[in-house]
A and B are shown apart, each in its own frame.
Chain A
């Protein structure tokens, strides 16, 4: 029986009642911020769509994106993997290895040509002919380009695939590059963060399966549904920023009262992500709530913007809006002095490196 089933059929056959199914659709609509009116549309989509094959590749990375993904609470990752998508290739979780694993990649690519989703965690190194990351005896770069060729859509999970992340921090010894540098003929949905929030990851996938389209993206390719506002914009400590109440030093009176962390380096004002709204691990908390400033892990090049404890410059305390919009670009230049301390990197190399990235 190789006929594809719809998500609804799978759920029903697992003994889930229609009522529970509709409740699930309402929750999904709420999780996506779509309101109750969208629940019937989600239900309809799930009743008529097939399970979409997903190929999940791993380049140079730390697997934090996969780990985050399996933390998803709504939907639960077991429901995603058993019922919503067909996770045909994922070397972190798949049963088979070696040539049996590689065979699956080819099989799915042929059988579902133009219909599978390619999800990429990590990125390809270009130095040493790509041999800083080897899969099946060959450069990961080859596998990536090969799998991208016939994908319906490409998702760049996390900051590695989206921006380069830690291995691409100066001096980027392996010349690791974000995937859009090597896949140039297809749109890429960037879901940055180190890692991205679990429900953001499953939210993006659920949206695509439900509505049959790519979510609306910003100019940099990030879904607006999660990345259109700064953490600062919705931070529960924002009133303390506006009132001029700051943590001046760790564990001081302000830290205990939950004052704003801006002065101890919080990058919330320049970081686009959903941490202060969706929060982490089923809404349990998020970095600022736990007392440490945001380190800006969903932003391009966040490793090279000075110390995580350096205070952002160029932010006005009051009437922030007009100024903070410029912050994202201003900061990159503003922290040049701090970066100058990177004695190991010569100015020449830096210039070369910059040239390579552009």
Chain B
């Protein structure tokens, strides 16, 4: 039994620290914490500081266009909203897609997951663990030895290679123009890597920049571009023509299939030889920093993903399920259609419900902006110094599953998959934990290791491995299916809105890079009547609810000691482990959009 903390138990009497903007995330976010006399975080307040109103914009539009609008919710997890949207429309209209389309969508979805995880770890998260300035002190020979020790298969491992990287960084730093590294917290004792590990990680920061632009080319083949590849209701737009007239100008032909396979293999090498060894090495060197578990130790949620047999959720590589109070022995089924299960609350969000409603299921989502700062906030409306978390304090709503705050994301789905007995996942997790224990001489159990900032970061790396391994299966299945004579990519029976019922409603789900993603749509007279997206960062970044249940971001920061409260390294480290995406998390708005409640400062 591991009951989540309630806001009533938090101590906000200590010194208040404000971090705004929280950088190296997607979008705009603010975080405030209170630290006690020992600089331990005792209260945490996370705030979504942007709002765009996309769901209002969707009302009255053609449901077949919705994917393009919602794809622009986020350009980082590009494509996952589009995919979830076409699923919602197809669910509403009863459209089954061809097997080839199913497989091509899988390839695109997994491409996105891998890309997102790699860029997150190396370019958004790494600087929470890695000190590039310290890399200057490294001995390139020792770095080479370290590289060969943690991953003997990675070819870029010679002393000369690391010397070149070090020289480049040295000259960059000596130029006095530090660019992205300026004002970093490089003297903070929270950084614990030896110089050789720092240098190796900096080299991989640069290698990952090169790698990420290659893997996304799979989107370019099937969707024409990245970011924001094209999707389509009823299948995929990329027709297959292997050996007929016009094949060389067709989207999917022999050369483009070969091209895709090469990109998968490159990604496979990078993930297995660089990414996973790096994460385990960093975890090993930060073995005493097992903070940040928060809600993951008790409540986690997964919608399930990577369905092998189309339409059969029992074949998901990552299963759906909810775990409550840390009881891994009981996996609760999750029904996204049940109005009593998933509900959004706005007690602490800058919205209001009509008729005093409490929580609303997304199909009935009804919202109106109400930007209002609480009685104890400091500053002015347009110059906020400190927020008052007893009142409304975020543009993010609070989704809850049966009233529970839930953490979502790769760690959550990995916990659900592990507890559900998925052997592939169990092997990955056991292998990683055993490598960690062996290297550190520790004897941590799964429940001590996984629910932590490091566990969250590890789960993302393992998720990438699962994706790339299963992409190889998808590719081969696609080729086999074509070999068997099936070249269909689209089901157009219900393309014409005249074939649609007068009213329909549907839901699409996915496990996006950041976790459980759901889109709910209502269609009436061929147009969108209502559209709601409840996205991973809405779950994780949610403010408190009426019962005082704390969202995952806030819960994860509690009880973490800070080396120097003025330098928020530890806050960034744990928040980044969720890979926050604020453009995703903040949504809905009043019916007409224009009629906004004016700010009230009480």
Contact = CB atoms under 8 A, between A and B. Distances in A.
A335 interface: no
Interface residues of B, number: 118
Contacts of B290: none
Given A128-B596, A133-B49, A291 B251 contact: yes
A251 B62 contact: no
Contacts of B281: none
A127 interface: yes
A192 interface: no
Nearest to B47: A134
Contacts of B216: 71, 281
Contacts of B369: 128
Contact of B492 (A58, A130, A251): A251
A286 to B, nearest CB: 6
A282 B220 CA distance: 10
Interface string B147-182: 000000000000000001001100110111101111
Interface string B362-406: 000000010100000001011111000000000100000000000
A174 B57 contact: no
A82 B132 CA distance: 13
A344 interface: yes
A357 to B, nearest CB: 13
Nearest to B207: A78
Contact of A64 (B68, B78, B164): B78
B20 A169 contact: no
Given A104-B183, A258-B246, A289-B251, A172 B593 contact: yes
A355 to B, nearest CB: 12
A292 B179 contact: no
Given A131-B371, A137-B383, A285-B221, A256 B182 contact: no
B119 A137 contact: no
Contacts of A128: 369, 371, 596, 599
Top 10 nearest A-B pairs (CB, nearest first) are A64-B75, A287-B224, A173-B593, A257-B246, A258-B249, A290-B224, A173-B53, A2-B176, A95-B184, A292-B237
Interface in A315-334: none
A309 interface: yes
A145 to B, nearest CB: 13
A10 B381 contact: no
B183 A95 contact: yes
A51 B175 contact: yes
Interface string A211-227: 00000000000000000
B382 A250 contact: no
A137 B384 contact: yes
A280 B179 contact: no
A257 B252 CA distance: 11
22 contacts: A1-B176, A13-B171, A63-B76, A64-B78, A67-B78, A85-B179, A90-B180, A93-B124, A97-B568, A100-B183, A131-B599, A133-B28, A133-B50, A166-B57, A256-B246, A280-B225, A282-B217, A287-B224, A287-B225, A291-B251, A341-B61, A341-B527
A3 B177 CA distance: 9
B18 interface: yes
A68 interface: yes
Given A97-B23, A257-B250, 12 more contacts: A77-B213, A82-B168, A87-B180, A98-B568, A140-B28, A171-B593, A194-B228, A250-B234, A250-B237, A251-B488, A257-B244, A291-B250
B594 A349 contact: yes
Contact of A291 (B238, B244, B381, B382): B238
Main SS at interface, chain A: loop
Nearest to B169: A82
B319 interface: no
Nearest to A257: B246
B563 interface: no
Interface of A: 1-5, 10, 13-15, 51, 53, 58, 60-68, 70-73, 76-78, 81-82, 85-88, 90-98, 100-104, 125, 127-140, 142, 165-167, 169-174, 176, 194-195, 197-198, 236-237, 249-251, 255-259, 275, 280-282, 284-292, 295, 297, 303, 307-309, 341-346, 349, 352-353
Contacts of B21: 91, 97-98, 101-102, 135-136
Given A256-B244, A349-B594, A96 B175 contact: no
B353 interface: no
B312 interface: no
B313 interface: no
Contacts of B65: 307-309
A66 B583 CA distance: 14
B241 interface: yes
Nearest to A287: B224
Contacts of B495: 249-250
Given A64-B75, A134-B28, A344-B59, A309 B64 contact: yes
Contacts of A256: 239-241, 244, 246, 250, 487
A53 to B, nearest CB: 7
B499 interface: no
A167 B57 contact: yes
Interface in B13-52: 18-28, 30, 49-52
B179 A67 contact: no
Given A251-B239, A257-B241, A341-B527, A97 B383 contact: no
